[in-house]
Structure 1
Amino acid sequence: MSNHGYDDITAEWVEHVAVGGAVLGGGGGGSLDEGIEFGHLAVEYGDPEIVPISELDPTEVVLTVSGVGAPAATESHVRPADYVRAVELAVDRLDARGTTVGALMTNEMGGFAAVNGLLQSAVTGLPLVDATCNGRAHPTGPMGSIGLSEDEVVLQVGVGGEPGSERHHELLVEAQLGSAASTIRQTAEAAGGLVAVARNPVSADYAASNAAVTVYDQAEAVGRAVRTAADGATAVDDVANVLDGEVAVTGTVESWALETTGGFDVGTVTVDGHELTFWNEYMTLDRDGERLATFPDLITTLDAETGEPISTAELSEGQSVSVVVAPASSLALGAGMHRPELFEPVEEAVGEPVIEYAFEE
């Protein structure tokens, strides 16, 4: 299917991809309920289109779309129109310089992220490419910048916050990548916790070489496994099988602590003696001092009763969950996952060694 693009994007396909995306989000990647609603809206509005990146002229410009912010933020207010607005502001700015945008690309997988771009495609007529910056969710902008260097000057647009209030922001920034990403993150905080983003225009040729290519089939397969399973235990096992992973533990959430700081959710979870840390997404899984999985390996939590994915922001003590892990090699990863220096902020955030495990020789 992915060889020919997705000609007929249905409500059922949206639901499979959003659920699979939520699993691949690894605890992050946005709200699944909002993702399904957003995807349905796109299908009702028009005809969103997904094409293989190989179908684009190599010189055509691909623009990444994302949401930036803390999933647990309670004051956030981003409308579907804001996602479209961010794209339009970026397209207009580039157009003024004689650069035409040829396609869009979502930045990661997640309950919302996996379907982000569909509405923008339906409204603008620009196709989405069957690629993402990463075929899983990741916490920082630089990780999702497909290998662009921190000092490369990029264009980023953020839109969000309650309309008509002091929290509403429309920001267009052109700066070095690291600075632009932190400016967008600060804007998300000022807007109440979240902004819709369009950013980092690159050539299709560059995207093809540095992005995670062909991602929707995997998301759909994972989502289908969850949604067609007879019960939670079957769903959990099927997801592990689809991802060549394993069920690390099924048990009760004994403790869960989350703090929203700097535009991120950071915290810890304990499930039957297994300790997890997260920074939006799960970063580490340990048992009795032994490291079982480390980001960018996929560490994801599913409701043990229903098999539905549960994000780090949605967990609560006493819940019965299964922790599924899959090796990074099972995932489509972009160039941002292959640079150890981009993992230094992870270690600072969660206070655990990450680089030595993620980049074992």
Structure 2
Amino acid sequence: MKRQLTHDDIRAAVYGGAVLGGGGGGFVERGLRTAELALRTGVPELWTVDEFAAEDLTATVALVGAPAAPDPQVLPTHLLRALELLRRDLPRELVAIHTNENGAETTINGWFHSAITGLPVIDLACNGRAHPSSVMGAMGLHDADGYRAYQGYAGGKPYAYVEGSVAGGLEATSNVVRRASVEAGGWVGVARNPVEVGYAVENGAPGAVSFAIELGRRFLADGPAGAARHLGGEIAVTGTVREYRCEQREGLDVGVAVLDDDARTALYIVNEYMALDVAGARRASFPDLITTFDEDGQPLASADVEVGKQVRVLVAPAGNLLLSRTMYMPEVYAPVEELLGIRFAPAAKVLADA
């Protein structure tokens, strides 16, 4: 099915994305502004995967950086420049674009690009929830023999602006872009990793944008409890933040939040919430969804957590989400586990079952 994205989709997509962001995936107000601008500028279109031939070429559009970075700026013009740099280097034409993940800003990745360029957005994400590393959102390309990655990037305020393109191995090019985000003040817009649609369907999360929009409608109607019901999860913990530590390391937010409840609930953060410990026991771990809401019931990004804030913690099992197969590849967790100093990767046997 082909359809035009409308103003009725904006709040649902952004708020559904904010829930699926699991603490990351950008910020609600910026997501709303970018989506509104896209619809004022042109007519972005969302196409289901069956509208494409398997051999059609698509590419990921994304934001890379640390949500709590002190001085970031990614403008719509930066998003377009990143796509322009990618298309310049590709051996054949792109037919469509898709987002890397679901989040308050990332669910609507591609809407502005589509409004300007006419390229449709595929109803597909590399991963149906937000994740901290580019490799986690690369649909298993790190394991594809001979794959050559192309990435275009742009972002930063005028005194810190960077742009460029890079080609080579997936992890090497991802490291270049991550470093560029640091030099740009914390964030860059990226267009990357061209693949055939057939590969994206097999290895990504088809239907992820529609999934976020439907979840957003449930949240807007019934708040966090409605979102939890829709995801087959629960509001597991409520408390006030007693301790909060966060630092930028390797272009990521790394930290922990501890609540004042009797169980001394702890949430471990690498952009997104990686693990939830209650009474000293692991209650949930990535790719399970762990999301915080403030006292007004609004999604609360991990970067906006502060000592003294009351939070509600939603937990939903990974099995109820639309996830890429990379979520069951333990090797992509190693760098994130090292940053936190804890283990939470799914067991290797889960991959065989997935």
TM-score (norm. length: structure 1): 0.93
5 Å matches for 1:1-361? Answer: 4-5=1-2, 7-94=3-90, 97=91, 99-149=92-142, 152-163=147-158, 165=159, 167-229=160-222, 235-271=223-259, 272=261, 273-303=264-294, 305-355=295-345
How far off is 1:357 after superposition? Answer: 6.1
Q: What is the root-mean-square deviation of aligned Cα atoms in Å?
A: 1.5
Rounded to whole Å, the distance in 2 between the matches of 1:145 and 1:9 is 26
- Supply the AA of the counterpart residue of 2:310: S
How far off is 1:221 after superposition? Answer: 2.3
Gaps of 5+ in 2: none
- Supply the AA of the counterpart residue of 1:293: A
Gaps of 5+ in 1: 230-234
- Cα deviations by residue, 1:125-144 (Å, 9 ceiling, x for unpaired): 00000000000000001100
- Supply the AA of the counterpart residue of 1:148: L
8 Å Cα contact 2:235/2:313 also seen in 1: yes
- Supply the AA of the counterpart residue of 1:313: A
How far off is 1:262 after superposition? Answer: 1.2
8 Å Cα contact 1:294/1:358 also seen in 2: no
- Cα deviations by residue, 1:193-244 (Å, 9 ceiling, x for unpaired): 1100000000011111111110123212222222223xxxxx1211110100
How far off is 1:116 after superposition? Answer: 1.1
How far off is 1:336 after superposition? Answer: 1.7
Q: Secondary structure at the match of 1:221?
A: helix
8 Å Cα contact 2:102/2:209 also seen in 1: no
8 Å Cα contact 1:340/1:359 also seen in 2: no
Q: Secondary structure at the match of 1:249?
A: strand
- Supply the AA of the counterpart residue of 2:55: T
How far off is 1:359 after superposition? Answer: 5.9
How far off is 1:306 after superposition? Answer: 2.2
Rounded to whole Å, the distance in 1 between the matches of 2:63 and 2:210 is 22
8 Å Cα contact 1:258/1:266 also seen in 2: yes
TM-score (norm. length: structure 2): 0.94
Note closer, same or farther for the CA distance 1:88–1:242 as it changes in structure 2 (3 Å cut): same
How far off is 1:338 after superposition? Answer: 2.1
Rounded to whole Å, the distance in 1 between the matches of 2:266 and 2:286 is 14
Q: Secondary structure at the match of 1:41?
A: helix
- Cα deviations by residue, 1:232-278 (Å, 9 ceiling, x for unpaired): xxx12111101001111112112111111210000001122211101
Count of aligned pairs between the two proteins = 346
8 Å Cα contact 2:85/2:164 also seen in 1: no
In structure 2, the partner of 1:232 is none
